């Protein structure tokens, strides 16, 4: 397959390149239509109990959550005549705003105590919107905050609620990513010139990166025709597209230079490159593909979206590395080294510091393994304190208006009035005694402040309960589990924001073992097929698991325990880290780690098949591939590390987590543990049962 592709690209390089460029441009044009179809929600499990309760609330009781929550601080008693007049005027203005369906406030509700702060000097004003989709509610929240957050006559108004917080987070992420790109793109270009050693060669990652990004936009557009896709998928496409473009271009260009400097013609060099480095890119991409495919197993559309984005961009990155890049190499030939900046990067060396490092490690494999495992254990130790939650207003800087308003609600109002627990009891007509007993038990659940009077719609009963803690917290999840553990009337559903959060977390927890099993098994099979070894895939999975444990330990130490703010910037400590961001970090890092593993094992395997001993194969393989792996990891780390400048905690976590993990993997894991363990296993590295050898790839 690879040989046929190589000869086709060499023979028809101009047609191949022109056709690919045309297809990518058309795909990018169509793919841009997807931007208007992307959504900012997707954090709920659509098949959960809380989702079923939400359908009852919407269809039977016509209930909607307030899109915007205003706190009106009077600074004096709320029944003061001037306060009543000014608050009523404010509410009348808001009622007239486009997109506002209705309002409910302390004053319009007749002075309901539930809508008043503990000090009786501030009241709620709930705003219900006509549209209910995330994007529209966010836009209304943005407009309401801009117009009314601040002074209104003698009142002080604070804007919060889902629409305001969602807009604040999205707006800040957009600005932060624009700043990150402004920093990272020039820096990455300078590093590319340094790593490739020549101006022409340093432009090659753009061929793979741009083609994969534009092509992925088209595939995402196709996904939007059948399912919802999160707007945050675009961030993964651009980041991963650029990262994989760097990885694969480094591998292809480096091998092309090797063949040229060995005396081969341009055409022969390209053919050999596709048959060797191209094959590595294909299997590396396939490994990343199956790893990212695991994200589709989670019930949340938010995580599924990253799966769609990931497999799309990987597929196109591999295509970009195997089709247009070799065609360009045929056309420019020996001009690949034009514009020399650093001559030592141009001529590959058979022996050098990486080979010396490998031999040093293999002379002392046991101490190296022990020291490395001790370091990993120290880095992993804080993981015992890890706890998960989901994004809320606390991911914003404490100075953000939406964060200030949310904190004010938490400090001054006794319960979560705007996000109650919703209990739905269908067929309730003949179960009044059991229902009364059940609701009495609900009142006694820790965290419940009050159970409100029931509301009937036919045979369906709706009861709301007010809890003391924020909805998206581990404490709220424990409370929901306690309520659901009670003996309930048949068909009872527990919903509301706290239940929605609980079901999302539980859905992720239930899917996680299946995702981990899929990743481990599929990666094991692919590496076995690629290397013909049983030992190497087992070692790869275990080492990647250790690398992930170390990364999660460091993330816990920083973002839960609150260390190293001098490096990552200030953030609000909540005692938890975001579940979705953590899973994304874990899956992306595992995929990229396997990317580097294939790079390294491919070259070691090639040297071993050529007749070198295990020790020399490892030394030469490390010399030829470690520079590529380290450079790729450094460049990718720079792309993600600039995200720590973001004011949103979850983006900080994503940026730092990926940057730390790839650097740890490229240094401690690939440069020390891999060669040390390969020295200890010796020729057993390449063992496989005779019955299975026919399923392995011929190199």
For range 665-688, the mean pLDDT: 85
> If pLDDT is split at 50, 70 and 90, which confidence band does 343 have?
low
Confidence of residue 547 (pLDDT cuts 50, 70, 90): very high
> How far apart are alpha carbons 212 and 312 in whole angstroms?
8
Helix H segments across 32-153? Answer: 49-59, 81-95, 134-148
Q: How far apart (Å, rounded) are the C-alpha atoms in residues 348 and 345?
A: 7
Distance, in Å, from the CA atom of 175 to the CA atom of 397, rounded to the nearest integer, reads 14
Average pLDDT of the chain, as a whole number: 86
pLDDT of 480 over the 90 cut = yes
CATH number at residue 120: 3.30.70.1430
Percent of residues, the chain, with pLDDT higher than 70: 97
Identify the domain boundary among 316, 347, 378. 347
In a shared domain, residues 91 and 149: yes
What digits encode the pLDDT tens for the residues 181-191?
Answer: 788 778 887 88
Which are the contacts of 495, defined by CB distance < 8 A and separation ≥ 6?
49, 50, 51, 52, 53, 54, 56, 57, 421, 422, 423, 424
Confidence of residue 345 (pLDDT cuts 50, 70, 90): low
Q: Do 96 and 33 belong to one domain?
A: no
Q: Which range of residues forms the domain containing residue 119? A: 67-160
pLDDT for the residue numbered 49: 92
The pair of three-digit structure tokens given for residue 18, joined into one six-digit string: 């022109």
The top-scoring range by mean pLDDT among 182-196, 628-642, 646-660 is: 646-660
pLDDT given at position 479: 95
394: its two tokens? 């606390």
User: Which range, of 90-104, 209-223, 685-699, averages the lowest pLDDT?
Assistant: 685-699
Whole-angstrom CA distances from 680 to 484, 604, 615, 677 are 53, 15, 10, 5
Mean pLDDT along residues 141-166:
90
My answer on whether 243 and 327 are in the same domain is yes
Quick check: 546 and 376 in contact, CB under 8 A? yes
Rounded CA-CA distance 238/427 in Å is: 51
**Model confidence band, residue 71 (pLDDT cutoffs 50, 70, 90):** very high
Position 144 in a domain: yes
Most confident of 68-72, 396-400, 417-421: 68-72
Nearest to 632 by CA among 208, 5, 181, 176: 208
Last residue of one domain, picked from the residues 320, 347, 374? 347
Which residues make Cβ contacts (< 8 Å) with residue 229, sequence separation at least 6?
34, 37, 38, 39, 220, 223, 301, 305, 308, 309
Does 50 score more than 70 pLDDT?
yes
- On the CB side of 677, CA atoms within 13 Å amount to 23
Does residue 338 sit in the same domain as residue 204? yes
For position 173, what pLDDT does the model report?
78
Residue 380 placed within a domain: no
124 found inside a domain:
yes
Give the residue-averaged pLDDT of 278-306: 90
CATH number (domain holding residue 269): 1.20.1640.10
Q: What share of the chain has pLDDT > 90, as a percent?
A: 28
- Confirm whether 538 is domain-assigned: no
What does the pLDDT look like over 234-282, one tens digit per residue?
778 887 888 888 888 888 988 888 888 888 888 888 888 888 888 889 9
The answer on pLDDT for 430 being more than 70 is no
* Chain centroid offset of residue 25 CA: 27
Above 60 in pLDDT, residue 686?
Answer: yes
Strand segments, DSSP code E, in 8-79 are 68-73
* Same domain, residue pair 127 and 239: no
**Rounded average pLDDT over 649-665:** 90
* One domain, residues 343 and 215: yes
Residue that is last in its domain, among 484, 502, 520: 502
Residue 202 and residue 335 in one domain: yes
Q: What is the DSSP letter of 404?
A: H
The verdict on 201 and 319 lying in the same domain is yes
Determine the average pLDDT of the residues in 572-597. Answer: 87
Structural domain includes residue 612: no
Residue 565 lies in a domain: no
On whether both 76 and 7 belong to a single domain, the answer is: no
Residues 339 and 201 in one domain: yes
> Please, is 242 exposed, middle or buried when counting C-beta atoms within 10 Å of its C-beta (0-12, 13-18, 19+)?
buried
Q: In what helix (H) or strand (E) does residue 328 lie, and over which residues does it extend? A: helix 324-332
Number of domains comprising the chain? 3
pTM: 0.85
State whether 444 and 496 are in the same domain: yes
Which of the 8 DSSP states describes residue 343?
G
Query: For residue 89, what pLDDT is reported?
Result: 93
Domain CATH code at residue 418? 3.30.70
Both tokens of 677, joined, read: 């363990």
Q: What angle separates helix 2-11 from helix 324-332, to the nearest 10 degrees?
A: 50
384 found inside a domain: no
Q: Determine the Cα–Cα distance for residues 648 and 302; give it in Å rounded to an integer.
A: 17
pLDDT for position 202:
80
Query: In Å, how far are 4, 7, 148, 371 from 1, measured between CA atoms?
Result: 5, 10, 64, 43
Q: 489-533: per-residue pLDDT in tens?
A: 888 999 998 999 999 999 999 999 999 999 999 989 988 888 888
Is residue 268 domain-shared with residue 322, that is, in the same domain?
yes
Q: How many other C-beta atoms lie within 10 A of the C-beta of residue 697?
A: 13
Write out the H or E segment, with its range, that includes residue 25. helix 13-31
pLDDT band of 350, cuts 50, 70, 90: low
Give dist(CA 420, CA 81) in Å, integer: 30
Q: Does the pLDDT at position 225 exceed 90? A: no
Please indicate, yes or no, if residue 439 is contained in any of the structural domains.
yes
pLDDT above 80 for 342 = no
Q: Is the pLDDT of residue 358 over 80?
A: no
């Amino acid at each position: 397959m690879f040989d046929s592709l190589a000869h086709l690209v060499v023979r028809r390089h101009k047609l191949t390149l022109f056709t690919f460029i045309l297809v990518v441009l058309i795909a990018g044009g169509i793919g841009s239509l997807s931007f208007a179809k992307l959504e900012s929600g997707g954090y709920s499990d659509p098949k959960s109990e809380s989702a079923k309760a939400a359908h009852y609330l919407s269809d039977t009781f016509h209930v909607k959550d307030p899109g915007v929550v205003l706190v009106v601080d009077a600074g004096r008693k709320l029944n003061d005549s001037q306060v009543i007049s000014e608050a009523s005027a404010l509410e009348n203005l808001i009622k007239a705003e486009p997109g506002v369906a209705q309002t409910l406030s302390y004053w319009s509700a007749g002075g309901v105590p539930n809508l008043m702060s503990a000090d009786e000097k501030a009241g709620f004003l709930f705003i219900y919107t006509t549209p209910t989709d995330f994007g529209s509610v966010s836009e209304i929240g943005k407009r309401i905050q801009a117009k009314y957050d601040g002074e209104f006559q003698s009142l002080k108004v604070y804007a919060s609620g889902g629409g305001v917080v969602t807009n604040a987070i999205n707006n800040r992420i957009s600005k932060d990513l624009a700043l990150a790109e402004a920093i990272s793109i020039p820096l990455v270009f300078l590093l590319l010139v340094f790593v490739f050693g020549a101006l022409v060669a340093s432009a090659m990652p753009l061929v793979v990166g741009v083609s994969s990004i534009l092509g992925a936009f088209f595939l995402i557009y196709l996904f939007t025709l059948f399912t919802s896709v999160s707007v945050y998928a675009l961030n993964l496409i651009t980041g991963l597209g650029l990262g994989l473009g760097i990885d694969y271009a480094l591998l292809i260009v480096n091998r092309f230079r090797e063949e040229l400097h060995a005396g081969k013609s341009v055409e022969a060099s390209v053919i050999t490159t596709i048959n060797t480095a191209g094959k590595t890119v294909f299997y590396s991409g396939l490994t990343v593909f199956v790893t990212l495919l695991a994200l589709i197993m989670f019930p949340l559309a938010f995580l599924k979206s990253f799966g769609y984005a990931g497999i799309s961009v990987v597929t196109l990155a591999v295509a970009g590395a195997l089709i247009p890049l070799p065609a360009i190499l045929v056309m420019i030939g020996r001009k690949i080294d034009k514009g020399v900046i650093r001559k030592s990067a141009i001529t590959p060396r058979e022996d050098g510091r990486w080979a010396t490092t490998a031999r040093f490690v293999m002379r002392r494999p046991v101490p190296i393994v022990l020291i490395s495992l001790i370091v990993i254990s120290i880095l992993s130790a804080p993981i015992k304190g890890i706890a998960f939650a989901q994004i809320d207003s606390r991911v914003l800087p404490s100075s953000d208006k939406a964060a200030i308003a949310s904190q004010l609600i938490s400090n001054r109002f006794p319960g979560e009035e705007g996000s109650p627990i919703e209990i739905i009891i269908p067929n309730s007509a003949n179960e009044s005694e059991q229902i009364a007993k059940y609701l009495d038990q609900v009142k006694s659940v820790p965290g419940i402040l009050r159970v409100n009077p029931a509301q009937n719609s036919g045979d369906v009963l709706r009861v709301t309960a007010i809890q003391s803690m924020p909805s998206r917290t581990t404490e709220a999840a424990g409370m929901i589990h306690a309520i659901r553990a009670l003996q309930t009337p048949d068909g009872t559903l527990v919903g509301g924001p706290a239940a929605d959060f609980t079901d999302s977390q539980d859905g992720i927890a239930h899917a996680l073992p299946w995702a981990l099993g899929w990743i481990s098994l599929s990666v094991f099979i692919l590496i076995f097929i690629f290397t013909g070894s049983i030992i190497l895939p087992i070692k790869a999975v275990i080492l990647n698991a250790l690398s992930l444990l170390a990364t999660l330990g460091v993330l816990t130490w920083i973002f839960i325990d609150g260390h190293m703010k001098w490096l990552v910037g200030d953030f609000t400590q909540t005692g938890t880290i975001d579940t979705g961001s953590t899973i994304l970090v874990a899956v992306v890092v595992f995929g990229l780690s396997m990317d580097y593993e294939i790079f390294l094992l491919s070259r070691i395997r090639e040297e071993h098949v050529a007749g070198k001993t295990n020790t020399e194969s490892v030394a030469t393989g490390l010399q030829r591939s470690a520079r590529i792996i380290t450079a790729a990891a450094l460049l990718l780390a720079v792309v993600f590390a600039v995200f720590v400048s973001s004011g949103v905690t979850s983006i900080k976590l994503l940026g730092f987590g990926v940057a730390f993990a790839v650097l740890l993997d490229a240094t401690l894991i690939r440069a020390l543990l891999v060669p040390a363990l390969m020295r200890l296993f010796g020729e057993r590295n390449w063992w496989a049962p005779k019955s299975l050898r026919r399923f392995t790839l011929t190199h």
